[in-house]
Structure 1
Amino acid sequence: MVISSFTVSSLNGKNGFAINGIAAENRSGSSVSKAGDINSDGFDDVIIAAPFADLEGKDFVGQTYVVFGGTNLASSGTFNLSSLNGTNGFKINGLDSNNGLGWSVSNAGDINNDGIDDVIIGAPYVSPNGKSGAGESYVVFGGTNIGSASSFDLSSLNGTNGFKISGIVANGLLGDSVSNAGDINNDGVDDLIIGAPNASANGNSAAGQSYVIFGGTNVGGGGNFDLSSLNGTNGFKINGIAEDDNSGDSVSSAGDINNDGINDLIIGAYRADPNFNDVAGQSYVVYGGANVGSGGILNLSSLDGINGFIINGIDFDDALGISVSNAGDINNDGIDDLIVGAWSADPLFVDEGQSYVVFGGTNVGSGGVFNPSSLNGTNGFRINGINALGYLGYSVSSAGDVNDDGIDDLIVAAFGASPNGNFNAGQSYVVFGGASVGSSGTVDLSSLNGINGYAINGTGGEFGRSVSDAGDINGDGIGDVIIGALNASPNGIPQTGQSYLVYGSATPSLDLNGTFESDNLIGTSANEVINGLGGDDTLTGNSGNDTFVISQSTSSTFISSIDYIITDFGGVGTGSNPSTGVIASFDTLQFIGGFDLTARNLELTQNGNDLKISFENVVDIKVTLQNFQLENLNSLPASAGKPAISNITFFNGFEPLVGDSFDVINAKSTQTTVFNKNTVTFLNDLNNNIKGFAHSNDVINGQGGNDKIDGLSGDDLLRGGAGNDTLVGDAGNDTLVGGAGNDTLVGGAGNERFTIRLGDGHDTITGFGGVGTGSKPSAAAIASYDTLQFSGDGLIARNLQLTQNGNNLELTFENVADTKVTLQNFQLQNLGNFPGSRTEPDYQNIIFNQTFPIDSFDVFNGNWNSNSILRRNTVTFLNDLNSNIAGFDNSNDVINGQGGNDKIDGLSGNDLLRGDGGNDTLIGGAGNDTFVGGAGNDVLTGGAGADSFVYNTNAAYNSTAIGTDAIADFTHSQNDKIVLDKTTFSAITSNAETGFTNASDFAITSLGALSSAVIVYDSVTGQLFYNPNGSAVGFGNGGVFTTLKNAPTLTASDFVVQT
């Protein structure tokens, strides 16, 4: 089955497994790699490093682990490295303190040409031969008895079992990166490459050096390889270009990228400064050949398109080359490709990171320089990170062929990503190869749908700091991948480290498949599997136990949305003892989608005779069961003599999500407690008064009726559905979703999340926990702060309005009806959003249509005054003091005055300034500014640019609420506008557009009170009147609402009518 994403916590032995480190602060998973088949048993193996491991009382010795592949490997879903015993793998211990063995690990190919794969391990902090920090690397030859004693002693290397390579430059850090190099000299034997990024080259400090060692039957024959002996026949040295470039920080085989039949290699120098862009980074492709490096030295500055080429970083601080790798033949044109990571690139936000795939070809890099900015889909493509501070590209690798389609795939990691709102959980992405991969020049990771690739969600610990192809470790003929999380803490042991083996999987065939268009699929009397694949399909199973497959991977807009009608769905029925007839005819909806399509997110809505099925936060999957009542939908466990049966199952792409089930309460039942702990429950349309279980993570869905739902303790999810509901979270980190109606939401202890959707009505929240005042929340605030999540068009920070009404804080949105929240006994100054850092998460009281707080705001403390807002391009709420404050130049600021007589100067930029209560002075400055004076008599100065002066109280006209303003510089030639909202100026009959479509709505006269027009402008005094009184004398409940200084000439085109 195809999937779009899954979380590594779902690995269970059938779809992969987790590999736990041994001791605290070992950081296993710092470096991971395929090891090839090092024990020659026909299964690929993997190698995992823990460079921070302390051994026998010595600090930072380092330890590396080889795990053997096999058919029954880690069937429980977990493998402990402490269990390595020689039959399932072995340990390799560092030799002394401060060695850092395993800083980098890799398959070394078959460097001694004995037909068995070998491995190489870097220890860059060793000080050999009196050279401090020169570094060492160790090649361990594979063999049928390798590691049979459960450990391998590096001091025993003697040329027959491997050899040692010592650095020759003090502080050069040899072994910081190690890799196989393929057969770069075309002699039929694999070679290897080792980086020493801090070595000086040609007199340039820390320019970096790399060393290529040619393989052969006698390589390392004495147990040591002397790098100073490299002479072109046994290998060669590669010199970096400029001071502090650190070339060799990442090294790899590049496959045969120029299609000459000989392997090439790639070297990263992430600190290089091409085109005067500091730390933009560079990478270097060196073409292989029979005479490559024949002089014993190759200078990267000599690359000219014939012997290789340079890849330049695009912008300063991109750090291109932090990771480099062969990408296999990802576009299936018969030529190898490569991938380069730029972890600090900023394609949209900050440090999302970027990776670049460069397609191989006979003319690739022919000019000597390749600029990734030229990638257009024909020569390669970009992969943009999708999370600020995600650091995509810190590790990149070929993934082998993980979907078994015969085309190579790749894997890229973003260890700082926060998938599904889980801060710094990390995320890795598998991108499937194909003839059209990246054809637009960019691969959008958010569009991965199981057909073009999938996302792997971490659970923390810097998941994705290292990724690699794992070969075929379980022997099923399909490629696997391995991902490291060096700071993970399995079993509660801090920073032990954890790695994850994720098995590849092919997509099975189905009985009845539709297309991506609108299909009408009709089954037979057999038990069939039916998949419409997407579109507006009508599905009929006929008799038998049919399975209808709905996969999120085929619901992406990249393919098609899903809106299915199933005409004859067979329900399990009411009660707990289904008849034999029901068992013979019930049908199953099988939802496939990893994180999103789960029982927790399931939403069931009775719409007349039909049942509508959807999922929270999933917009493109809808299923309608015709002529079907909710109470007939159920999931029952096995009982005496009867199997478990369920109308809905959830599948993560590898196997059913065991225990992810639900209960439905019969239409006429008035339960007072849900049936099962830690289960999803759907109520009925009665007015229910029901409780969950204590110490249970309950999901309770209210459906219709005015319900009272108490989750008791535990991390509960309570949804009110329709009706005026009361939801009580109690202790625990609960999520409360009121739904339609005017609901009361009670959080209790813990960090609550209150979800408010557009049109949900007027909800009241009691016990809301604020982030508090100051620049950093207290420990107590962190433990108890709550979050309001708004979802829907217009529910954004720019439109947010906060009104302190006595002890309560009211939250509304400009130009949005029927969406209001009251926080009882809550002061505005306690509301806040604190952005996170690399060491701390975000603390946010409000988020908008998002899980990552890119749309945020600042709140001034009640007794704090400042002459400037805190951040550029941000929404700011002042306090009730008389503020005198400015925004930023060249910044689109939103400043809300709240109470007090404020002076607010937006400076340049397209600002939105609201005076709110008090007699305020609002100054726009340069730019197209928007002014909302609010209550009080305000003075509004637009400045240069096309400014808008908005009059809208979200209620009928009230002179107190709107005040009497003065517009100081209304200028027709600058396209200034006066915006009148028909909610407030309800007597206006004109349509919502520029000008007045009904000419009688507007008049210019010096006798305003005698005019019958709705909006009257006195051309002598400059006063602008609202006249709902028609031709009667006076203005009724209207009156003057603003005065234009110097009485400029106005026409109907100076107004905008809105609704």
Structure 2
Amino acid sequence: MADTELNLATLNGANGFTINGIEQSDASGYSVSSAGDFNGDGLDDIIIGTPYADANGSVSNPNAGESYVIFGKSNFGSILNLSDLNGSNGFTINGISPFDESGFSVSSAGDVNGDGLDDIIIGAPRRRPLRPIPKEAESYVVFGHSSFGSILNLSDLNGSNGFTINGISVYDNFGNSVSSAGDVNGDGLDDIIIGAPNADPNEIRLAGESYVVFGRSSFESNLNLSDLNGSNGFTINGISPFDESGFSVSSAGDVNGDGIDDIIVGAPHPTNVGEYSGESYVIFGSTSFESTVNLSDLNGSNGFTINGISPFDESGFSVSSAGDVNGDGLDDIIIGAPSSNLSSTNSGPGESYVVFGSSSFASELDLSALDGKNGFAINGLEAFDRSGFSVSSAGDVNGDGFDDLIIGAPGADPNGTSSAGESYVILGASSGFASTLSVRDLDGTNGFALYGIEQIDGAGNSVSSAGDVNNDGFDDLIIGAPGADPNGGAPFDPAPGQSYVVFGFSNENLNVIQGNDNNNVLTGTADDDLLQGFSGEDVLLAFYGNDILNGGNDNDVLSGGDDDDLLNGGDGDDTLVGDRGSDINVGGAGSDRIIWNLGDGSDQIDGGSGLDTVEVNGSSNGRDIYQVLKAEDNVLFERTNIDLFQLDINYVEVLEVNSGGNNDTLTVGDLSGTAFESITFNAGNGNDVLDGSSATTAFVGLGGNGADTLEGGSNNDLLIGSNGNDLLRGFAGDDTLNGGAGNDDMIGQEGNDLLNGGSGNDFLQGSEGDDTLIGGAGRDTLFGQAGNNRLIGGNGNDVLSGGDGNDVIVGGAGDDFVGGFGLGDDVLIGGAGNDQISASAGNNILIGNGGIDTFLFDSDEDFVANDFGNNNIIDFEVGIDKITLSTFTFSALNSTGGSILIDEFEVVDTDADASTSEAFIAYSKSTGNLFYNENGIAAGLGSGDQFATLQGAPDISTSDFIVTDFSI
């Protein structure tokens, strides 16, 4: 059984080897393929295309391109340098002219000339025909031979060692893709197929053409495609403008079981279900062909059309035979759609589609109709991975008798390394295919991932079976990484490129320990084990060794043991404990809990579907510094100071961090675009810090003992300070902040927040939004600021300020200061105790609510009409409560000593009488309205106005007023 992943950096000669390009900008590995047994020694060989190489290393021949054939042998070192090919271990094939780009596409051609040796084909499409006199593109067939020199020049092909195939028009992009066609006409000789996606068949612009050239025992040095007549080959015409049929071409094997090989042509840009949705076309082999086959004529008897699913999927970007994946005796095909979007928020992870062979087909097959019985879809992993950029049969990698698949995703970011690239091997099986397989579900039993090494390597740009290169009985793989730099250059710099051969392997290297449908307890050994729980609520306990634990159905508990383990929860709500070692934890379906304990290693975690939780249990003995950061669509959880570790987390919704105390810090970055919904930080003892200020995830912050700093993010957070003098800051979102014991500082900021100070002398600030602030016990200070707020002081002598908005402010028990202090219509309630209630702009309601209360009128400047709006004092008690006027605001008053002068106050009969009063303060005994008559004896109120109403019009006098300058 394979591991779930193999990092290409670990190839060591025993499991495979690395092939290094030569010069910067060569892009070695742009195309790769098996070469069959090219030199007839009984071992399969490989070919690597390097389209941007300068032939013979000469700057006078830029981008002529080179290709390299590497001979198979039983033993390889960990590295092979293309510069070391000497004719005995392989050789170099030089392109002819500048900008030919020979090697843009390469493939085995099968045995085209029937000499018993496999041949190869090389495409030179001249994608940038910059020559002074542009020339039609060419492709080249090189015949296999038992011996070679170190170099072969394509210009030397003469019909005996190979031949040149001449394209028709300059800009056809002929040779963009090349492949063996198998024996498509049933004559016993292998044929070849070449795509020209920019050709204009029947003057249909960029509809694309493909060309099949039949094998035969002898060839001239040149073959002109314009001479294909049905007996030596035929032309395949695309359908509609800009379809670009022939962008990819391949043998399809014998898809319909009639004993003759078939071919497949990809056209990524048809608009059958939307722009660039793509189509692919299977053309059945036949003993006779006309000179031309129109793809529009496929009717189910001569072939069929495979329709893409959605706009911009680009299905048909890559196509290949898949071999016999399901073991039914019919060959299958695979189609790549690297731009496919799995959802509106997951751009370009890519999909690939396996279509099973069948004895009969309708004229059309929709890829959306694949149901596991007629084929299945393979979903890419993350946005911009471009899974399906390259696809191929992998041969039988694990020796189980079923053909396997390989899919390249050159844009994938293994372990967060941007565009290092990934490839995925899907293992064949007789049954068990659902309609969809996600590459994230590859677990070693159904396939595995191959990870690129460095940023921008683009591993998986090209993939192929390599045949059995080392003659161990297992088919091998080859993967191209044209952006890789064996010299360690910087990302984005021109690179020589690398290719990687991964050897096939036996499946029989694990101790298999299986349960049944009951509730089992399975214990591993000191070796490498496979523990299979199947159905039932199982407990799987690994020991030593690199183990695979598959929980199966129901709610299972999996514990990984000491080494590097793979834990697959399967269906059900499972608990996974990786334990020591670098583990891979895959939750699968259900709401799973994945636990990391102190002393465990750096793990990869994939929650799968359901509401999944990662629980991290830290140290109580030392200070932990944690950070949670997004790496593309994954999340990295790291401890960055002592006992460094890292968790690579994907498809997990909840993170719980139990830090253990001792002044711990958790910093969380912007996790938007990931599956994370909430993070809980349980700080414990010590002065702990939660910094979520950059995050969009919801937080639950539990401060514990100590002076904690808990800062949420832009979501709806719950922050609890508990004991100690804490700082809690909600930031955006509708947050709940509980200070608990201690003198706490709490700031809600944006959103509709609930702040509860708890015991202690607390500071609460709501900022923006409609907030509720509760001071609790202690002497608290509450500032509502903007929004329609509710402020409740609670016990203690509190200061409450509403700010702008329509606020309700209640002082509670104690001698409180209650003020609106801003625009808006407020309700100000003093509560029990001797309260000071400060009026403000707006139409406010002021309630003393018992005690000796003071109603304050001070705008901190000269009175301006509407400064106070209409302040309705509900329960003014004459002789007990006071109205305090500021001389800064009521500047006409000459009162000193705190009391209003008798001639500065007058009780009048009506509101109208206030404007003719000689007093500066006039009170209408009929309405209870209180006026500031700024100009005294003069007619009108001057700059004054009504500023309060005393409900019930109580009988007030000068003794109910206090005049002060608020200087004390």
Deviations 1:42-75 (A, max 9, x none): 111111111011231121111111111111022x
Of 450, 469, 481 in structure 2, the residue corresponding to residue 473 of structure 1 is: 469
Deviations 1:137-169 (A, max 9, x none): 000000111xx3111121111111110001111
Partner of 1:267: 265
Partner of 2:609: none
Structure 1 residues 226 and 788: CA distance shift in structure 2, 3 A: farther
Partner of 1:485: 481
Instruction: Check the 8 A contact 1:107/1:180 in 2, yes or no.
Output: yes
Measured in 1, the distance between the counterparts of 2:730 and 2:528 equals 55
Measured in 2, the distance between the counterparts of 1:286 and 1:958 equals 88
Are 2:249 and 1:246 equivalent residues in the alignment?
Answer: no
Partner of 1:847: none
Are 2:433 and 1:454 equivalent residues in the alignment?
Answer: no
Structure 1 residues 391 and 819: CA distance shift in structure 2, 3 A: farther
Q: Secondary structure at the match of 2:178?
A: strand
| Structure 1 segment 414-813 matched on structure 2, within 5 A | 414-439=409-434, 441-460=435-454, 461-493=457-489, 494=493, 495-508=495-508, 513-515=513-515, 518-519=519-520, 531-534=530-533, 548-549=544-545, 551-552=547-548, 554-555=549-550, 563=558, 589-593=562-566, 618=585, 704-707=619-622, 727=641, 740-744=659-663, 758-761=681-684, 797-798=697-698, 810-811=711-712
Measured in 2, the distance between the counterparts of 1:97 and 1:523 equals 61
**Residue identity opposite 1:80 in structure 2:** N
Are 2:91 and 1:90 equivalent residues in the alignment?
Answer: yes
Measured in 1, the distance between the counterparts of 2:207 and 2:14 equals 46
Deviation at 1:706, TM superposition (A): 2.6
Structure 1 residues 475 and 411: CA distance shift in structure 2, 3 A: same
Q: Secondary structure at the match of 2:368?
A: helix
Of 346, 353, 356 in structure 1, the residue corresponding to residue 353 of structure 2 is: 356
Partner of 2:332: 337
**Residue identity opposite 1:52 in structure 2:** Y
**Residue identity opposite 1:270 in structure 2:** P
Deviation at 1:514, TM superposition (A): 3.0
Measured in 2, the distance between the counterparts of 1:342 and 1:956 equals 66
Measured in 2, the distance between the counterparts of 1:324 and 1:172 equals 20
Partner of 1:52: 52
Instruction: Check the 8 A contact 1:131/1:171 in 2, yes or no.
Output: no
Measured in 1, the distance between the counterparts of 2:804 and 2:120 equals 78
Measured in 2, the distance between the counterparts of 1:230 and 1:312 equals 29
**Residue identity opposite 1:488 in structure 2:** A
Deviations 1:17-49 (A, max 9, x none): 111111111100100111101011111111111
Q: Secondary structure at the match of 1:207?
A: coil
Partner of 2:784: 936
Of 33, 53, 65 in structure 2, the residue corresponding to residue 62 of structure 1 is: 65
Structure 1 residues 789 and 71: CA distance shift in structure 2, 3 A: farther
Partner of 2:300: 305
Deviations 1:648-697 (A, max 9, x none): 99999xxxxxxxxxxxxxxxxxxxxxxxxxxxxxxxxxxxxxxxxxxxxx
Q: Secondary structure at the match of 2:111?
A: coil
Instruction: Check the 8 A contact 1:728/1:745 in 2, yes or no.
Output: no
Q: Unpaired segments of 5 or more residues in structure 1? A: 542-546, 566-587, 597-602, 606-611, 622-629, 634-647, 653-700, 712-716, 721-725, 769-786, 830-858, 860-874, 878-896, 905-914, 923-933, 941-948, 969-984, 986-1006, 1011-1020, 1026-1031, 1035-1059
Partner of 1:105: 106
| Structure 1 segment 153-164 matched on structure 2, within 5 A | 153-164=153-164
Deviations 1:1007-1045 (A, max 9, x none): 9999xxxxxxxxxx999x9xxxxxx999xxxxxxxxxxx
Deviation at 1:185, TM superposition (A): 0.5
- Taking every aligned residue pair, what percent have the same amino acid on both sides? 39
Instruction: Check the 8 A contact 1:918/1:937 in 2, yes or no.
Output: yes
**Residue identity opposite 1:12 in structure 2:** N
Deviations 1:811-845 (A, max 9, x none): 3774546699x9x999999xxxxxxxxxxxxxxxx
Deviation at 1:936, TM superposition (A): 2.2
Q: Secondary structure at the match of 1:233?
A: coil
Partner of 1:226: 224
Q: Secondary structure at the match of 1:325?
A: strand
Give the TM-score normalised by the residue count of structure 1.
0.59
Instruction: Check the 8 A contact 2:184/2:190 in 1, yes or no.
Output: yes
Partner of 1:684: none
| Structure 1 segment 873-892 matched on structure 2, within 5 A | none
Structure 1 residues 352 and 480: CA distance shift in structure 2, 3 A: same
Deviations 1:526-556 (A, max 9, x none): x977653347778999xxxxx744524x337
Deviation at 1:6, TM superposition (A): 2.1
Q: Secondary structure at the match of 1:420?
A: helix
Q: Unpaired segments of 5 or more residues in structure 2? A: 570-575, 589-596, 605-615, 627-635, 650-655, 671-677, 736-746, 754-763, 772-781, 813-828, 833-842, 852-968
Measured in 2, the distance between the counterparts of 1:758 and 1:14 equals 45
Measured in 1, the distance between the counterparts of 2:140 and 2:513 equals 53
Q: Secondary structure at the match of 1:202?
A: helix
Partner of 2:126: 125
Of 767, 782, 796 in structure 2, the residue corresponding to residue 918 of structure 1 is: 767
Partner of 2:908: none
Instruction: Check the 8 A contact 2:281/2:303 in 1, yes or no.
Output: yes
Instruction: Check the 8 A contact 2:239/2:296 in 1, yes or no.
Output: yes
**Residue identity opposite 1:173 in structure 2:** N
Instruction: Check the 8 A contact 2:281/2:304 in 1, yes or no.
Output: yes
Partner of 1:143: 145
Instruction: Check the 8 A contact 1:106/1:120 in 2, yes or no.
Output: yes
Deviation at 1:758, TM superposition (A): 4.1
Measured in 2, the distance between the counterparts of 1:125 and 1:540 equals 59
Partner of 1:783: none
Structure 1 residues 957 and 425: CA distance shift in structure 2, 3 A: farther
Deviations 1:182-212 (A, max 9, x none): 0000111110001111111101122111110
Structure 1 residues 615 and 306: CA distance shift in structure 2, 3 A: same
Deviations 1:382-401 (A, max 9, x none): 11111011111111111111
Instruction: Check the 8 A contact 2:324/2:403 in 1, yes or no.
Output: yes
Instruction: Check the 8 A contact 1:549/1:590 in 2, yes or no.
Output: yes
Deviations 1:687-731 (A, max 9, x none): xxxxxxxxxxxxxx99755326899xxxxx9988xxxxx94799x
Instruction: Check the 8 A contact 2:402/2:429 in 1, yes or no.
Output: yes
Structure 1 residues 26 and 956: CA distance shift in structure 2, 3 A: farther
Instruction: Check the 8 A contact 2:564/2:580 in 1, yes or no.
Output: no
Are 2:400 and 1:395 equivalent residues in the alignment?
Answer: no
Instruction: Check the 8 A contact 1:279/1:318 in 2, yes or no.
Output: yes
Partner of 1:134: 136
Deviation at 1:321, TM superposition (A): 0.8
Of 284, 287, 293 in structure 2, the residue corresponding to residue 287 of structure 1 is: 284
RMSD: 5.3
Which protein has the larger Cα radius of gyration, Structure 1 or Structure 2?
2
Instruction: Check the 8 A contact 2:539/2:556 in 1, yes or no.
Output: no
Measured in 2, the distance between the counterparts of 1:357 and 1:957 equals 73
**Residue identity opposite 1:287 in structure 2:** F
Measured in 2, the distance between the counterparts of 1:957 and 1:297 equals 95
Partner of 2:178: 178
How many aligned positions are there? 719
Structure 1 residues 962 and 45: CA distance shift in structure 2, 3 A: farther
Deviation at 1:733, TM superposition (A): 15
Q: Secondary structure at the match of 2:155?
A: helix
